[in-house]
Amino acid sequence: MPKLTVLPHPELCPQGAVIEDAPTGVSICRVLLDNHIEIEHACELSCACTTCHVIVREGFSSLEDASDNEEDMLDKAWGLTSASRLSCQAIIDDADLTVEIPKYTINHASENH
């Protein structure tokens, strides 16, 4: 099983994290949540927002291509890069991954309150 490395994030994971034996066939977001890294996921993993946006620093090519729907959502993400994915849609395969959780996120649901 692959290793998922999470780069340090000031609030969610200040020291960074290494998740050994990340399960394949599961989204990056689910693995983060299951390992107590509380990445925002306002749409409950349904590809309807950008709050779970991550930048895949290593292992990007091992992920399946983003769907058109995911690409459309990513266009709205803060800090978009060519290695950006919605972690709820990026399914772990057999390669090790290193991800960065951006410092900011755009959550239209919470910003409208």
| 5 close to 98: Cβ distance less than 8 angstroms | yes
Residue type present at position 101? I
Cα–Cα distance for residue pair 51/74, rounded to 1 Å: 10
For the cut 80, the answer to whether the pLDDT of residue 108 exceeds it is no
**Structural domains of the chain sorted by starting position, each given as residue range(s) with its CATH number in brackets:** 4-111 (3.10.20.30)
Report the candidate in 58, 32, 50 with the shortest Cα–Cα distance to residue 104: 50
Q: How confident is the model at residue 111 (pLDDT cuts 50, 70, 90)?
A: very low
Q: Quick: pLDDT tens for 80-104.
A: 999 999 999 999 999 999 999 998 8
